[in-house]
Amino acid sequence: MPLYLNDEQTMLRDTAKDFVAEHAPVAHLRSIRDSNDPAGFSRDLWKQFAEMGFTGILIGEDQGGLGLGHVEAGVVLEEIGRNLSPSPFLTTAVAAVEALRGSAQAERWYPGILAGETVAALAVDEGAKHRDRVALRAERAGNGFRLSGAKQFVTHGHVADVLIVAARTAGGEDEADGVTLFAVPRDAAGLTATPERLTDSSVAARLTLEDVTVDADAVLGEVDGGRAVLDRALRAGRTGVAAELVGVGAGAMDMTIGYLKQRKQFGVPIGSFQALQHRAAHLYSEMEVARAAVLRAQQLLDAGSDAADEAVSVAKAMTGLATTLSVQESVQMHGGIGMTDEYDVGFYTKRARVLAEMFGDAHYHADRLARAAGY
């Protein structure tokens, strides 16, 4: 498969580009922030995403979705990134859809996701840095399980109808085995989600679970064998964040290159200065490399390749590095105006920082690659 979008994917990209730019441009984020909207996103927009078919991209046709893949989901995510659109698309239609896939819970939650009525969130992190460690306990209780512990950085966790929670059912905190994945409804007794507004105006929850009881059918995958399902959801989530990061980095870069052509000092466009040309060209090169890494990860995921895991970590790490460079360079090359709240470029800086951290930063993924390579 050639490493570029095919005709159908290109058409989807054009559709998504127009749709997101029209309905959720940066001004949309600004208005949500300025109104201090408690949800942090627009439910109307989420409905529209569903009407466009976007929320069903990764859901099979037999279940009412489009039965497409990660390349297509990424096409939408790149536009979300480019426009900084607040949307539960990544957590719900990508990460949670993968976590739920093949389980009885999929039948329960997919219809709402397809309709743009349901929001889902992934509750994985237990510390400030993303780690493989799972300490939140789940013990057998009657016909089901009782969960106790805490999670953080759960994007949309305060409004999610269902939370995908990774819990420890056996073994030590750092063991790969002994993890079980649960679909916990938002209204479960003992579950508290405290919303925290983040740097980029998005809202993530800190969760506490105190003796939250769920039925046995809340288990996704096998008891003690949830790592496989968690890994599948994380591969999808990481690839999705990487695609969104490409959009954020490209959006900031495009703004900046436009500014270099238009802003005049010393009587000429500042983009005619070689010092800035070289910085812009270097940035472009980094973003192109990152973009290729993301497409490769998406294609390998869609092909079910064994090489996908490595490619996903490369994509997440490389987009973290490249987009971080992009937003830094963008503020610098805009000069003073880049520091103002009124100008949009600062929003890109903030979103990039949040996404760079999500599901593991560049250091986490570089370390992961090193371990996989035996050093």
Partner 1 sequence: MTDLDTFRTETRVWLAENCPPEMREPVRADTDVCWGGRRYDPASNPPQARWLKLMAERGWTVPDWPKDYGGGGLSPAETKILREEMAAIRARNPLNSFGISMLGPALLRYGTEEQKREHLPKIACGEIRWCQGYSEPNAGSDLAGLAASAEDAGDHYIVNGQKVWTSYADKADWIFCLVRTSRESKQGGISFVLFDMDSPGVSTKPILLISGYSPFCETFFDDVKVPKANRIHDENKGWDVAKYLLGHEREMISGMGLASGGRNPLVEGAIATVGRDHDGRLADPLLRAQIALFEVRAKAFAAMSERFIDELKAGRAHPAQPSMMKYVGTELNKARHELMMAAGGSDALEWESERSRGGAGARAWLRTKANSIEGGTSEIQLNIVAKRILELPGA
Tokens of 167: 């819990």
Q: Is 284 among the residues that bind partner 1 (CB under 8 A)? A: yes
Which of 257, 263, 328, 343: binder of partner 1 (CB under 8 A)?
257
Size of the site for partner 1 (CB under 8 A): 46
**Cβ atoms of 104 and 217 closer than 8 Å:** yes
CA contacts within 13 A on the Cβ side of 214: 29
DSSP string, 71-113: HHHHHHHHHHHHHT---TIIIIIIIIHHHHTTSHHHHHHHHHH
Tell me whether residue 189 or residue 275 sits nearer to partner 1 (CB atom). 275
Region binding partner 1 by CB under 8 A among candidate stretches 34-42, 94-102, 166-174, 257-265: 257-265
> Does 261 interact with partner 1 (rule: CB under 8 A)?
yes
By CB under 8 A, which span of 28-36, 47-55, 140-148, 308-316 interacts with partner 1? 308-316
The reply to whether 267 sits near partner 1 by the rule CB under 8 A is: no
* CB nearer to partner 1: pick between 2 and 142: 2
Q: Which residue, among 99, 93, 96, 100, has the nearest Cα to 115 in the 3D structure?
A: 93
Residue 251, token pair as written in the block: 């959006």
- Residue tagged 């009525």 (tokens): 117
- The CA-based angle 139-143-144, given to 5 degrees, is 40
Distances (CA, A) of 244 to 31, 75, 250, 272: 21, 9, 10, 31
Using rule CB under 8 A, residue 241 touches partner 1: no
Contact between 129 and partner 1 by CB under 8 A: the answer reads no
305 binds partner 1 (CB under 8 A): no
Interface with partner 1 includes 93 (CB under 8 A)?
no
Interface residue list for partner 1 (CB under 8 A): 2-4, 257, 260-261, 268-269, 271-274, 276-278, 280-282, 284-285, 288-290, 292-293, 295-296, 310-311, 313-315, 317-318, 321, 362-363, 365-367, 369-371, 373-375
